[in-house]
Each structure stands twice: as structure tokens, then as C-alpha cells.
Structure 1
């Protein structure tokens, strides 16, 4: 058996990288992902796996089992069940996006982007399909202040935690960032679905037979959020992760900044176009509210800065590089 850790850029730990869970490959057949510490149920992954299996979504590592344990002594008051591990199929020759996508950035290749856009749209169409697990997969909630409040709080926290020249730059551009978040305040009702919640390139494996999206545990840095969210939140996180790949290629692989920036812009454009086209093929174009994309992208970069300040200071170059590319 072989122990493996969560995907991340070489010598790097990005914002949404799984740093605590421990995965073991057994006989190149299955992967057992041990949650450390065990997580109280309910957890999103078992339910998401069951739903996706029922509706026929196969672009993931085939789920086999969820290992749970009853805690609380004799099972009386205070007892609860915890999730110990998830067992999925082993994908031969797999590497995550912090490896293969950085290689693509260095080479200037963008053909992968359309495939990722199609994969994300297929995932969202599957999550918007009814099953016995999630019989009402799409909600049409009225306008809510929650997305705006959550994003503005992330910006304020990023401003507080980011120091030095980066902090000065962030403060100087705080007005533009708030303006970028403004569409969340006036956003009308938009379809809400169970999203992946942590959809970045590190969660997309390139393996012998194509691409697979993994890790349906939700965003480990956001607590208390409704599991039903606009599809644009997933797409925004995926597109910003492409920008982060460009920053990693510049910092760690010596890529030319102008060329890496042009690569990221082209890849994002291709990814979004393929995503929209595939949603249309599924007859679900209404799942994407374009007006939410940039606000969610800004919020994502703020969360990257928060994570960097709290856990990994050297990662700050990536979100700051992205924000500087957006705001001159």
C-alpha cells in the first residue's frame, strides 16, 4: 500500500488543499481516504456520491463505501455517528491539477480548458437532476443578503489580515473590490443547486482514461454555508484556480509573466465557453447567472488571502498576483 497526500503545487500548499486527511492506496485498486479527525455526520460526500451514482455521473473515482463509527459510549443521549473514511476506486496514472495544469501553463497549452468546462457543466447538470437522495435538487429561493454579506465580510477580513506592501495595495484598491462585489447585493433570484463547494484544479485528476473530479467534502474553510448555492460559485473557483496556476508557473517554474497571463486568459475564456455550451446541450443554461461570476471570483481571492495569513504566508503571492492582474 502507498500513502498519499492532498494535491498541491510542488513545495506549495494552496488555499483549498486538503492538508489533514490521509489517503492510502491499496493494491492499486482502491483508495481509502481517512478523515483526520473523523467528521461528525452528516457530511456532504456520502450523500453526493450516492446522488451522482444514481443519476449516472461517472467522471469521478467510483465510490465504494463510507466507513462510519458510532460514538458516545452506549449509544444513549449524546451518541453520534462520525465518518471515518471514504473508499473509492484507484485511478491509474493520475495526477492532480497542481501538477498537470502547471505543466500545461509552462507549455502554453490550453486544449484542456474546454474539457474542464464540459466536465464542470456535466457535474452541475447531474447535481440539478432529481434522485431519491436529493429529490428536489434545484431551489428557486428569493433574493438573499447572505452572499453579499459573506463576500463583504471576507473582503474586510482580508484587508485586516494582509500587511506590508500587499496590504497597502489592497487598501488602495478596496473601493474597486467593493464595487466588484456590488452585483451580489442587487442580485435577483437565481437557481440554487448542491454545488461541489471546493472546485479547483487540484480537485481534478488527469488519469489514464481522462479527467475525474474528486473530493466532495465541501470547502473546509467555510462553515455554516447553505449547501445549495449558485452554480456560478463553483465555476468562479475553478476559473480563479486557473489564474493561480499561472502564478505558480511564474513563481516556481520561471514562466514569463506576460505569457502566463495570456495563457490564463485564453484558458479561462475556453473553459467558460465550453461550460456554457455544455449546459445548453443539457437544456439547463439557466443554471449559470453570469452576473455572479466576477463577484464570486473576488470573494475567492479574499478567502485565499485569509487562508494565507492564517496558515501559509508564502501562498499570498498567488491571490495578490491575480488581483494585480485584474486591477492593473
Structure 2
């Protein structure tokens, strides 16, 4: 049984700001209320699904919480305790495998419990005998591993309507795309009285247990390259990153090919359209406006503003009708897995700092390509930002190494992408530069707000790209 609402919301107001996935750490919570509470399991332990309405500075947000209730809380769950009374201890039940198995049961049975709807893909058989383990590295969501079979992503902060990750992955699964984990089921909140569509709460997919994420593989390659003996004398100017044993270029090329194949599958699933030149010019104007605003808030970008502006103006001057479609939207090395059968793409939610309408906007496929090229720049310089992780070469020499690694893998990715039928980045240089610089401006703004120690990464890479 739940405690009185006033006691529960008081405990939640204290607990929420300490959670990594809570998006309002930079301001006081004005009000927390329970918008919906659904009992999923009675007894001890009990499981309740809560939809929380949180207001901060007058701005509303919704979050979901699996709330566990136990008379005696075991030590293994102390770290996720929320509060409660001596007779009813409250905690985040996403960390309790005894209770999360309820989700598998409901998904397998296609259950409807209160306003919650549990769906499984037609023909999909879901095992219900698996214990869960939360992935602790995630920030904006919480994912549960069920054995080595499934991964269930719980969307902590709830948007309106169908989540993009479900919408895109479901369409690609139904289309037979081999480069995404197959969707098994999903959880949603039924439409409210305002007539709005169902809200996505969770997504169950196959778990690619043999996969290694692209970021980790790339960082291992960079580390090997940094450890490679330095060239003699003045040979730094012609440094060749292929000399290192942990060369990543072949994988980058295969990743480019997989990306082109997923783009083609997205076009087949959602359609392709053409926007007129006027919309391309408007897009260029938005890019320039973001640059201007970011220069005001991050002075370190200002020295590059003239060169970036020239690229955006060039895009506007050469504007012509442009083919657009659905994309990944937040494409980088952390969103891909290398498995035994090839590369797989994950997390189609779009950039976290963008609005829902911006995330859903159609764009040219090279926008995703630009995102991955920027990720190679990040991987090349990540170790430089961490003291003690690289050899004690001078700063300029390390930057030369980073540039050589990034250039080699960027070229390999673009080569694989074009060979697999994607638009050749080399044949669309103006558009390609504009997308990449737009992404760099976004990165500068994001790092300045969230990870100031990383700010030199996008700024240093710009120095090479604008020459």
C-alpha cells in the first residue's frame, strides 16, 4: 500500500534531483504530483507504476517511476531507497529483478493494466524466466538487461506521443533491416482525455550480447596509435595513422556501408521527399542564427565565426531542391555496436538538446554522416583531455597524431558509405561542410553547458576543418 500522497511527493522531491536521468538539476523543483498510479503487483514486495508531474520554474515535465514497496529493504536495494515509513520502504524498483520480471510477464501476455498497455510484436515469443540487471552507464533513460536475450529501455522523461526510438526501430524491424536490434515489444500509456495519442514508456528489443560499442573500439585504436613510436625528425607533417597495429579504418569503412543501408531502409519505411530551394536557404539561416547565439554564450567559438558563416552563406547561395528523409538524428560512435554479424545502430531518439519537432524533422542523409565524422574527431582527442592517459609528447605533436587518426577514419567511413549507395560526401562538399559545422556549433554549446572540460575537443577540431 502506498503512503499518503503528501508524504510520497515530499520524498520524491528530495530524491529526484539526485538521479542521473532527472533533467532539472539546475533549478529548484517547485511541485511534484502523481499524475497516475497503477498497481502492477500486490503484496510484499509490491510494484506500482507512477507517472510524475514535475514543475520547475513553472515548466511542466513528466517522468515515469517503477516504485517498489517492501516492509524490509534488503541491503542490495539501499542505494535506490526513496523514503517511506518504517512499515513501507519505498525504492526505485527498476533495480529489483524480483519485480521487473512483472514487465516481461505483461509484455508476453499483451496485458492491459489500468492505463498501461503492454504489446508484443506479432509472432514474437518473449521469455519470462529471466532476471534483470540495470545498465548503470545510461543517463537520460534506464535500460534493463534480461539475461543475454533482451534489453528493455525505460524512458524516464516522457514526451508526447510515440517515442522516436520505438517508431523508427519498429518500422525497421518490420522491414527486415539487419542493422538494428529486433523489437520484441513495447509499453505505452493509453491516450488521455485530451485526445492525445499514447505515450511510449518502454521498448523491449533483442540484446546484442556479443556487441562492442563503436566508441570503445575507436578509443582503443587511438590509444594504440598514441603509443606507436614517434617518427624521427621533421616527419610529423606526413604522419600516417595506418602504421599503428590497432588500425580502425577497415571497421570505419564497414560502418559507413551499414549506415548507407540503414538510410535506404529508413527511406523505404517512411518515404523520401524533396524540399524546395527556399527551405534550404531557411535551413542555412537557422544554422547561422545558432552560430551567432553560441558565439555570444561561448566566446571561444568567436575566432571561427567568420569561416563558419562563409560556409552557411555558401549553402544559401547555392541552394537547390534537396532530398530529405527520416534519419538517426544523433549519430555517433556511442550509438553503434560491432557484433559478430556486423554493425548495428541504436537509439533513434535524436539529439537530447533539440525539441521534439526538431528531432522529427526530415533531413538529408549527409546530416547523419556529418554526425559520425564529428564523432571521429571526438574519439581522436578524447585521451588528450584526460591527464596521464597518453605519452608525454608535446601538445602540438599529440594534436598532429589526433588529426591523422581522424582524417584516416573519416575518409574510410565516407568511402564505405558512398560504395554502399549513399550520397557521396565528396560530391556534396558544400552541404557536407554546412552539416558538419552545424554539428560542431551544437557540440560547442552542449559542452560549454554540460562538460566544460571537453570544450577544447570541438574547438581544436574546427581549427583543422576550416583551413
TM range (shorter): 0.7 to 0.9
Q: Say whether the 8 Å CA contact 1:97–1:206 is kept in structure 2.
A: yes
Q: Say whether the 8 Å CA contact 1:39–1:84 is kept in structure 2.
A: no
1:142 equivalenced with 2:276 (yes/no)? yes
CA distance in 1, matches of 2:445, 2:219: 23
Select which of 225, 232, 243 maps to 2:366. 232
1:316 shift after superposition = 0.7
Deviates more, 1:262-271 or 1:182-191: 182-191
Corresponding position of 2:341: 209
- Cα gap change, 1:151/1:4 in structure 2, threshold over 3 Å: closer, same or farther? same
Deviation readout 1:33-69 (Å, 9 max, x if unpaired): 1111222213322221232123321111111122101
Corresponding position of 1:98: 215
Deviates more, 1:240-249 or 1:305-314: 305-314
1:128 shift after superposition = 1.7
1:312 equivalenced with 2:451 (yes/no)? yes
Corresponding position of 2:184: 64
CA distance in 2, matches of 1:51, 1:80: 18
Corresponding residue pairs, total: 300
In the TM superposition, 1:34-45 aligns within 5 A as 34-45=154-165
Q: TM-score, normalised by structure 1?
A: 0.84
1:196 shift after superposition = 0.8
Query: What secondary structure is seen at the aligned counterpart in 2 of 1:275?
Result: helix
- Cα gap change, 1:171/1:138 in structure 2, threshold over 3 Å: closer, same or farther? same
Query: What secondary structure is seen at the aligned counterpart in 1 of 2:272?
Result: coil
Q: Say whether the 8 Å CA contact 1:199–1:238 is kept in structure 2.
A: yes
Deviates more, 1:248-257 or 1:202-211: 248-257
Query: What secondary structure is seen at the aligned counterpart in 2 of 1:279?
Result: coil
Select which of 410, 419, 422 maps to 1:277. 419
- Cα gap change, 1:250/1:82 in structure 2, threshold over 3 Å: closer, same or farther? same
CA distance in 2, matches of 1:183, 1:327: 14
Corresponding position of 1:13: none
Q: Structure 2 stretches of 5 or more lacking a match?
A: 1-131, 226-246, 392-397
Corresponding position of 2:399: 257
Corresponding position of 2:310: 179
Highest CA radius of gyration, 1 or 2?
Answer: 2
1:199 shift after superposition = 0.9
Across the aligned residues of Structure 1 and Structure 2, the Cα RMSD in angstroms comes to: 2.2
Q: Say whether the 8 Å CA contact 1:183–1:292 is kept in structure 2.
A: no
Q: Say whether the 8 Å CA contact 2:417–2:424 is kept in structure 1.
A: no
Q: Say whether the 8 Å CA contact 2:211–2:340 is kept in structure 1.
A: yes
CA distance in 1, matches of 2:310, 2:417: 26
CA distance in 2, matches of 1:91, 1:313: 33
Select which of 245, 270, 277 maps to 2:379. 245
Q: Say whether the 8 Å CA contact 1:249–1:260 is kept in structure 2.
A: no
1:149 shift after superposition = 2.2
Query: What secondary structure is seen at the aligned counterpart in 2 of 1:92?
Result: coil
- After the TM superposition, which parts of structure 1 deviate over 4 Å for at least 4 consecutive aligned residues? none
Q: Structure 1 stretches of 5 or more lacking a match?
A: 7-17
Q: Say whether the 8 Å CA contact 1:276–1:285 is kept in structure 2.
A: yes
- Cα gap change, 1:139/1:78 in structure 2, threshold over 3 Å: closer, same or farther? closer
1:32 equivalenced with 2:152 (yes/no)? yes
- Cα gap change, 1:82/1:297 in structure 2, threshold over 3 Å: closer, same or farther? same
1:78 shift after superposition = 5.8
1:200 equivalenced with 2:350 (yes/no)? no
Corresponding position of 2:104: none
Select which of 293, 299, 316 maps to 2:438. 299
Higher relative contact order (CA 8 A, sep 6+): 1
Corresponding position of 2:135: 4
